[in-house]
A and B are shown apart, each in its own frame.
Chain A
Amino acid sequence: MRVLIIEDERRLAENIAQILAEREKYAVDISGDGIDGLHMIQSNPYDLLILDLMLPGMNGLEILKKMRQQGNPTPVLILTARDAPSDIVTGLNSGSDDYLTKPFDIGELVARCKALIRRSYGKADPVIRVGDLTIDTAAQKVVMKNKIISLTSMEYHALIYLAMRKGEIVSKEDLLEHLYDFNWESFSNVIEVYISTIRKKIDPLKQYNYIKTFRGQGYLLEEH
């Protein structure tokens, strides 16, 4: 999953980026300026935007309105020191999905981020099931026929992304964009490696074929 943080307090943004990367292995980009941030959200497919309101260059609410006008559906979490009910109402009415006031608990922030991303893929349940395969996004646990599968973090996130978009064909670029920050092009060959490792780990006897490959198009996670 790829997250953008637009926050002018550089160190706060870095702290959030680090915790998201450590806990959830999200790829995080940071922008400290409104205009630059708007440009980034317009040109990259993020799974979540964490947005401060008081920003140099352009106000957070303006960024939010602009991106929503352009039809950008990325979930947005407003992270601000403004805690008046009227500010929260304005924030949510301007198109944000969640609102968290500073100072916040970092664990709560991570949980909200996960929920927002899950919701944006239409998954209300944190547990995603594909046949006998169970992916618990809350506990970060993958279970195949009551057997816990041990995945590396990148493998896990590649699987999560496919699970989030269960039933859809996901292109390799798409996967890369959501697994890495803006340097993703240098990793273009690792996806095949990850997918084949995941297949071996969840289905060593090749009985199920949950992850299908479509040449030139991408991958599909499906029950049959």
Chain B
Amino acid sequence: MKNIEIRSLSLKTRIGLCIAFLILLVIGILSAAAHHEFKESLLSHLDYRLRSDVDVIREILRTDHFHTEEAKREIQAILMLSRGTWRLGHRIWIEGDDSTEMQNNDLVDLAAFVKNPAEKPPDLDSFRFLNIDRGKIRGRLIWAQCSIPGISPRENLIVNIAIAMSSAHAYHEIGEFARVLLITGGILFAVSIAMILGIFKWGFIPIGVLTERMNKISDKNLDSVSYEFPPMPRELLPFVKSWEEMIKKLAHAVNEQKRFTSDASHELRTPIALLKSTLQLAQAQERSPTFYKKMIDHALEDLERLNHLIQQMLTLTRLGISQPTWDRETIQMKDLMLDIAEQYTPFLEERGFHLVCSASPAVLQANPLQIRQLITNLIDNAAQYAPSQSTITVNMENDSNNLKITVHDTGGSIPPEECSLIFQRFYRVQKARDRHSGGAGLGLAIAREIAVLHGGDITVRSNLLEGTLFTIVLPLAKE
């Protein structure tokens, strides 16, 4: 068993992989979401700053005149304040008059971006955002327009304001954030995997203990298996329980088998010892013909006993492997009973017994040879234990479901504590150990096996006053 290698992935690996994939998915989705949100907020912050700059510049332009030095200074100051460490560019010009412009092309030549009329803000007080993407230079550009009072009071001028801000810093921040996410995600993943493996290891400890116990079990030590375990998770308790039950059943079966083998060898050895000693005694010295004849008779008697014992053991073994449905026939119980009575009456009368039988017209669906043996084994048993000149009664009655056969004799009682044991193989009531009264103790075991095989059972009631009564109950054939 040990050498069978499980080539497919172990359960542990499979569950581990599943969970690892899930964790990875969750961490991945969360990180992606966080990354996206962070990027959005950084970029919208950039836009917000551009918008507020535009708003301020509009205000300045509305209150002061476009060409005043004061306005220029104020605008410069605002933009300086706003840019901080970020790179900034701006271009302010009057619509249709490219020369009237203020500009700072630190970042990029803004004129190139703000010439497409299609990208113009839709109306005077609105604005439009544009992306700047020139290789290394990336940024956002706001393009707004506003109308300001012209030099002549009736004439309004339309002023274009374009401010560009580099987003390199934002992207740097985003990259930084992504790195942090990757590192924390990785650590989280590694820790989770380690924990899962730990939990698995911990969870499999009871199974390890069980396996170790099982490996130590052999047919030699089935009886001494310890059922004391370290605390088990509740989920495993039914498994442990049924494991325990299984071992106990096995131990019982093996013990039964051992007992049977040991009893069988004991029972076989006795007639063999008898036969051998008889033959050796005959051989020991020159004997008279009468002596030889007596020894031969004895030897044959022993062989007969041995043969009977072997036949009984074979019968038991065959009953043990036979199926209930084998060789079933319809049996008229009345005919069978008459037949048995006819066969047994002379044999029993010779030994000083009376046989009284009654039969019912029941019909049984069963193996006729086995049913005959069931009844005759009980009659034999009665003849072994009943006092001479007594009556053995076989009675039969039935209701719509069951057939009941009783075998009664007036023989000495079986002690109540032994009533359940007498159907065991090789069991003999202690008082009856004297071999003159019986066989090896297999007759009743065979009878019970047959009854059970036919879906029935056999019981015994015994006391000194009423004698011994065996009751066989067999299910009747269904119409």
Binding site for B on A (CB under 8 A): 8-12, 15-16, 18-19, 22-23, 32-33, 54-56, 81-84, 101-107
Q: Report the minimal beta-carbon distance from B253 to chain A, rounded to whole angstroms.
A: 20
Q: How far, in angstroms, from A11 to B275 measured CA to CA in the complex? A: 10
Interface assignment of B274: CB less than 8 Å from any CB of chain A: yes
Q: How far, in angstroms, from A175 to B479 measured CA to CA in the complex? A: 81
Assess the A103–B269 pair: CB atoms within 8 A: yes
Contact with A along B428-442 (1 / 0, CB 8 A): 001111111000000
Q: Which of B274, B280, B285 contacts A9 (CB 8 A)?
A: B274
**Shortest Cβ distance from B280 into A: residue:** A106
A-B contact pairs, 11 of them (CB 8 A): A11-B298, A18-B281, A19-B277, A19-B280, A54-B266, A81-B265, A102-B269, A102-B273, A105-B276, A106-B276, A106-B277
Q: How far, in angstroms, from A9 to B430 measured CA to CA in the complex? A: 15
Q: How far, in angstroms, from A102 to B434 measured CA to CA in the complex? A: 18
Interface assignment of B284: CB less than 8 Å from any CB of chain A: yes
Q: What chain A residues lie within 8 Å of B434 (beta carbons)?
A: 8, 32-33, 56
Q: How far, in angstroms, from A101 to B266 measured CA to CA in the complex? A: 10
**Shortest Cβ distance from B262 into A: residue:** A84
Assess the A15–B285 pair: CB atoms within 8 A: no
Contact with A along B414-451 (1 / 0, CB 8 A): 00000000000000001111111000000000000000
Assess the B285–A22 pair: CB atoms within 8 A: yes
Assess the B269–A23 pair: CB atoms within 8 A: no
**Shortest Cβ distance from B301 into A: residue:** A11
Task: Report the 6 A-B pairs with minimum CB-CB distance, sorted nearest first.
Answer: A102-B273, A81-B269, A103-B273, A56-B433, A106-B280, A15-B277
Assess the A83–B265 pair: CB atoms within 8 A: yes
Q: How far, in angstroms, from A16 to B273 measured CA to CA in the complex? A: 11
**Shortest Cβ distance from B258 into A: residue:** A84
Q: What chain A residues lie within 8 Å of B376 (beta carbons)?
A: none
The CB with the most chain A CB atoms within 10 A, among B276, B277, B434, is that of: B277
Assess the A105–B280 pair: CB atoms within 8 A: yes
Q: How far, in angstroms, from A154 to B401 measured CA to CA in the complex? A: 75
Contact with A along B253-286 (1 / 0, CB 8 A): 0000000001001110110111111101100110
Assess the B435–A101 pair: CB atoms within 8 A: no
Q: Which of B272, B278, B431, B436 contacts A102 (CB 8 A)?
A: B272
Q: Report the minimal beta-carbon distance from A81 to chain B, rounded to whole angstroms.
A: 4
Q: From DSSP, what is the main secondary structure of chain A's interface residues?
A: loop
Q: What chain B residues lie within 8 Å of A32 (beta carbons)?
A: 434
Binding site for A on B (CB under 8 A): 262, 265-267, 269-270, 272-278, 280-281, 284-285, 298, 430-436
Given contacts A8-B434, A11-B278, A56-B433, whether A81 and B273 have CB atoms under 8 Å apart is yes
Q: Which of B265, B272, B278, B433 contacts A54 (CB 8 A)?
A: B433
**Shortest Cβ distance from A15 into B: residue:** B277
Q: How far, in angstroms, from A143 to B479 measured CA to CA in the complex? A: 91
Q: How far, in angstroms, from A22 to B276 measured CA to CA in the complex? A: 17
**Shortest Cβ distance from B270 into A: residue:** A81
Q: Report the minimal beta-carbon distance from B148 to chain A, rounded to whole angstroms.
A: 120
Q: What chain B residues lie within 8 Å of A18 (beta carbons)?
A: 281
Q: How far, in angstroms, from A221 to B16 measured CA to CA in the complex? A: 95
Q: Report the minimal beta-carbon distance from B274 to chain A, rounded to whole angstroms.
A: 5
Q: Which of B272, B431, B432, B435 contacts A103 (CB 8 A)?
A: B272
**Shortest Cβ distance from B276 into A: residue:** A103
Q: What chain B residues lie within 8 Å of A54 (beta carbons)?
A: 266, 433
Q: How far, in angstroms, from A54 to B262 measured CA to CA in the complex? A: 13
Q: Which of B269, B280, B281, B430 contacts A56 (CB 8 A)?
A: B430
Q: Report the minimal beta-carbon distance from A160 to chain B, rounded to whole angstroms.
A: 21
Q: What chain B residues lie within 8 Å of A84 (beta carbons)?
A: 262
Assess the B436–A10 pair: CB atoms within 8 A: yes
Q: What chain B residues lie within 8 Å of A33 (beta carbons)?
A: 434
Q: What chain A residues lie within 8 Å of B275 (beta carbons)?
A: 103
Assess the B285–A101 pair: CB atoms within 8 A: no
Assess the A9–B435 pair: CB atoms within 8 A: yes
Assess the A107–B269 pair: CB atoms within 8 A: no
Assess the A11–B284 pair: CB atoms within 8 A: no
Assess the B277–A22 pair: CB atoms within 8 A: no
Q: Report the minimal beta-carbon distance from B388 to chain A, rounded to whole angstroms.
A: 19
Assess the A12–B273 pair: CB atoms within 8 A: yes
Q: How far, in angstroms, from A100 to B435 measured CA to CA in the complex? A: 21
**Shortest Cβ distance from B274 into A: residue:** A12
Q: What chain A residues lie within 8 Å of B267 (beta carbons)?
A: 81
Assess the B435–A15 pair: CB atoms within 8 A: no
Q: What chain B residues lie within 8 Å of A104 (beta carbons)?
A: 273, 276-277
Q: What chain A residues lie within 8 Å of B430 (beta carbons)?
A: 56
Given contacts A11-B278, A11-B298, whether A102 and B270 have CB atoms under 8 Å apart is yes
The CB with the most chain A CB atoms within 10 A, among B266, B267, B273, B436, is that of: B273
**Shortest Cβ distance from B433 into A: residue:** A56
Q: What chain A residues lie within 8 Å of B272 (beta carbons)?
A: 102-103
Q: What chain A residues lie within 8 Å of B265 (beta carbons)?
A: 81, 83
Q: How far, in angstroms, from A8 to B432 measured CA to CA in the complex? A: 11
Q: How far, in angstroms, from A8 to B266 measured CA to CA in the complex? A: 14
Q: How far, in angstroms, from A147 to B270 measured CA to CA in the complex? A: 45
Q: Report the minimal beta-carbon distance from B441 to chain A, rounded to whole angstroms.
A: 12
Q: Report the minimal beta-carbon distance from A151 to chain B, rounded to whole angstroms.
A: 19
Q: How far, in angstroms, from A83 to B262 measured CA to CA in the complex? A: 9
Q: Which of B266, B277, B298, B435 contacts A16 (CB 8 A)?
A: B277
Assess the A56–B285 pair: CB atoms within 8 A: no
